[in-house]
């Protein structure tokens, strides 16, 4: 498999990685999908803010890189939300395909939340998501 | 496991009678089409069993909509095609009314609420990736990765054609585990729309900890949700009220859906 999930070799990506601050991903994009149900959250949050999760977006299989790889994402956001975010950042067309992989093995469903994936597959306090334009791991 | 084959078979044969009706505002013929009745397997996905439903209703909508993707609705909930049918029923039908009354649409696909399903290939891909995710939890994805393409096809075709033996000839490999420890983690999803805005919650839980077999109650305790706050509740899968003392390893081997996940719904009694 020649899909190295981390483009460390690229000086651009590496330097960004070294001194970047985690940047908050905006909570909404026009096409965030699918919407979460409107029911009230179960446990009232002390500071009334949704907890954030550090998501690292790694291009694989020759996918375009983004200057910023580490993002702070609302834990309730979905993979679909991140997908539309990346599409905007990379100015992908609607017809362009975009795939996500966790653990170099499976593609999470677009309505899966960042929190669930982090709880099950996070490591070192972050969730690593590989993205690519063509299917990488079947 | 062999002695429990009867249970696997019973679960596989779970069926739901469904009455499909075309949304009245989409009827373009002078007389509304008859409802369409179907017995559907609980374990499968709607796009795999609704070709006939589509054919029955599509002639009664305006020609411009004939190529539109069909979608289904129950009491204003668009039904997610990528949830197994039995899960959708356990999740949305609180009064156990049968046949299940589902409305068929060809117009205004709610693509902000449900994913698109342009073909059965998409369902196959969804099933395969769910199986890989489950296997990543159970065996670090070793078994799915080592399986041959042929075995992956057995899983898919077994479900598609409702063939128990074909499906289980490959699925039993995914259920292998060491005798004492069981799976690494139990693949499950817990649906509690009453208590959380998330569609479901998922976290790591082992079947055995400190030589103690964990049970459904242990799983609930780690959800950090106050289940009792809404009154007495049941944990439901395949329409069965699961005793809280059921061991997680056993339930995972026997009551998982074909995607190898336990889709557990919390149901509160009607008041």
Chain A: nearest CA to B265, how far in angstroms? Answer: 16
Give the global pTM. 0.87
User: Does the residue B232 lie in any domain?
Assistant: yes
Residue-wise pLDDT for B145-189, tens only, equals 999 999 999 999 999 999 999 999 999 999 999 888 899 999 999
User: Does the residue B113 lie in any domain?
Assistant: no
User: Does the residue A92 lie in any domain?
Assistant: yes
B200–A109 C-beta distance less than 8 A: no
Low-confidence ranges of chain A (pLDDT < 50): 1-19, 30-46
The number of domains in chain B is: 3
Cα→Cα distances B26→A9, A137, B46, Å? 56, 41, 20
Among chain B, residues having any CB pair with chain A shorter than 8 Å are 80, 82, 111-115, 125-126, 128-130, 132-133, 136-137, 141, 144-145, 185, 192-204, 224-226
Bond from prior residue into A25 cis (ω within 30 degrees of 0)? no
A36–B198 C-beta distance less than 8 A: yes
Q: Which two tokens stand for residue B267?
A: 């149901």
Assign residue B101 the CATH number of its domain.
Answer: 3.10.20.620
Q: Name the residue range of residue A111's domain.
A: 16-26+50-132
Bond from prior residue into B99 cis (ω within 30 degrees of 0)? yes
User: Does the residue B68 lie in any domain?
Assistant: yes
Together in a domain, B31 and B82? yes
Assign residue B256 the CATH number of its domain.
Answer: 3.10.20.90
Residues whose CB is less than 8 angstroms from the CB of residue B91 and which lie 6 or more positions away in sequence, other chains included: B83, B191, B193, B265
More confident residue, A135 or B116: B116
Residue-wise pLDDT for B221-264, tens only, equals 999 999 999 999 999 999 999 999 999 999 999 999 999 999 99
Angle (CA) B119 B120 B122, round 5°: 75
Together in a domain, B184 and B171? no
Together in a domain, B78 and B95? yes
DSSP bridge pairs for A94 = none
Together in a domain, B167 and B184? no
User: Does the residue A31 lie in any domain?
Assistant: no
Residue-wise pLDDT for B37-84, tens only, equals 999 999 999 999 999 999 999 999 999 999 999 999 999 999 999 999
Among chain A, residues having any CB pair with chain B shorter than 8 Å are 33-43, 76, 102-103, 105-111, 113, 115-116, 119-121, 138
The residue among B141, B161, B176 that closes a domain is B176
User: Does the residue B4 lie in any domain?
Assistant: no
Chain B: nearest CA to A74, how far in angstroms? Answer: 12
Assign residue A75 the CATH number of its domain.
Answer: 3.10.20.90
The burial of A84, by beta-carbon neighbours within 10 Å (0-12 exposed, 13-18 middle, 19 or more buried), is given as buried
User: Does the residue B218 lie in any domain?
Assistant: yes
Together in a domain, B152 and B208? no
Residue-wise pLDDT for B1-47, tens only, equals 546 899 999 999 999 999 999 999 999 999 999 999 999 999 999 99
Place of tokens 């964990």: B214
The number of domains in chain A is: 1
More confident residue, A10 or B124: B124
The mean per-residue pLDDT over the stretch B107-133 comes to: 95
B129–A111 C-beta distance less than 8 A: no
User: Does the residue A32 lie in any domain?
Assistant: no
Looking at residue A93, what is its pLDDT? 87
The residue among B42, B75, B105 that closes a domain is B105
- The CA distance from B53 to B70, in Å, is 9
Closest CA to B120 of B50, B64, B39: B50
| CA max distance for chain B | 68
CB B243 within 8 A of CB B68: no
User: Does the residue A123 lie in any domain?
Assistant: yes
The mean per-residue pLDDT over the stretch B188-205 comes to: 94
- The CA distance from A41 to B194, in Å, is 9
User: Does the residue B3 lie in any domain?
Assistant: no
Looking at residue A22, what is its pLDDT? 66
Together in a domain, B80 and B124? no
Q: Name the residue range of residue B162's domain.
A: 119-176
User: Does the residue B19 lie in any domain?
Assistant: yes
Together in a domain, B39 and B69? yes
User: Does the residue A34 lie in any domain?
Assistant: no
**Residue in B with minimal Cα distance to A78:** B198
Place of tokens 């997908």: A83
Together in a domain, B65 and B128? no
The residue among B144, B159, B176 that closes a domain is B176
Together in a domain, B93 and B49? yes
* Chain A partners within 8 Å of B202 (Cβ): 116, 119-120
The mean per-residue pLDDT over the stretch B109-137 comes to: 95
User: Does the residue A21 lie in any domain?
Assistant: yes
User: Does the residue A65 lie in any domain?
Assistant: yes
- Candidates B80, B132, B202; nearest CB to A116: B202
Looking at residue A21, what is its pLDDT? 60
**Residue in A with minimal Cα distance to B229:** A42
First to last CA, chain B: 40
**Residue in B with minimal Cα distance to A40:** B197
Looking at residue A16, what is its pLDDT? 38
User: Does the residue A79 lie in any domain?
Assistant: yes
Q: What percent of chain A has pLDDT over 70?
A: 66
How many separate helices (H) and strands (E) can be counted in chain A?
3, 5
Looking at residue B3, what is its pLDDT? 60
User: Does the residue B112 lie in any domain?
Assistant: no
B80–A105 C-beta distance less than 8 A: no
* Chain B partners within 8 Å of A116 (Cβ): 198, 200-203
Looking at residue B53, what is its pLDDT? 98
């Amino acid at each position: 498999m020649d899909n190295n999930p981390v483009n460390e070799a690229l000086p651009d990506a590496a330097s960004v990685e070294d001194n970047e601050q985690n940047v908050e991903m905006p909570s909404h994009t026009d096409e965030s999908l699918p919407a979460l149900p409107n029911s009230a959250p179960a446990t009232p949050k002390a500071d009334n803010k949704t907890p954030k999760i550090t998501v690292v977006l790694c291009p694989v299989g020759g996918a375009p890189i983004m200057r910023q790889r580490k993002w702070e994402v609302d834990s309730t956001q979905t993979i679909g939300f991140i997908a539309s975010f990346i599409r905007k950042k990379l100015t992908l067309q609607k017809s362009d395909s975009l795939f996500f992989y966790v653990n170099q093995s499976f593609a999470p469903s677009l309505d899966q939340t960042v929190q669930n994936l982090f709880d099950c597959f996070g490591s070192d306090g972050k969730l690593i998501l590989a993205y690519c334009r063509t299917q990488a791991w079947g | 496991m062999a002695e429990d084959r009867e249970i696997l078979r019973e679960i596989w044969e779970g069926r739901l009678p469904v009455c499909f009706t075309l949304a009245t505002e989409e009827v373009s013929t002078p007389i509304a089409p008859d409802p369409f009745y179907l017995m559907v397997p609980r374990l499968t996905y709607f796009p795999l069993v609704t070709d006939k439903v589509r054919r029955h209703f599509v002639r009664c909508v305006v020609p411009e909509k004939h190529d539109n993707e069909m979608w289904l609705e129950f009491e204003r909930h668009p039904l997610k095609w990528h949830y197994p049918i039995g899960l959708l029923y356990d999740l949305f039908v609180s009064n156990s009314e049968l046949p299940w009354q589902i409305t068929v649409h060809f117009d205004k696909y709610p693509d902000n609420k449900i994913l698109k399903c342009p073909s059965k290939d998409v369902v196959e891909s969804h099933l395969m990736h769910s199986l890989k995710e489950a296997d990543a939890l159970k065996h670090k994805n070793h078994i799915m990765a080592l399986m041959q393409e042929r075995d992956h096809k057995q899983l898919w075709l077994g479900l598609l054609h409702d063939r128990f033996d074909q499906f289980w000839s490959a699925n039993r490999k995914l259920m292998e585990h060491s005798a004492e420890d069981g799976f690494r983690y139990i693949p499950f999803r817990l649906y509690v729309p009453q208590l959380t805005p998330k569609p479901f919650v998922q976290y790591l839980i082992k079947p055995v900890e400190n030589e103690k077999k964990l049970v459904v109650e242990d799983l609930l305790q780690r959800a950090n949700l106050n289940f009792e706050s809404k009154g007495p509740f049941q944990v439901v899968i395949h329409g069965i009220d699961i005793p809280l003392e059921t061991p997680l390893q056993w339930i995972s081997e026997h009551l998982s859906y074909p995607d190898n996940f336990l889709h557990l719904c919390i149901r509160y009694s009607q008041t």
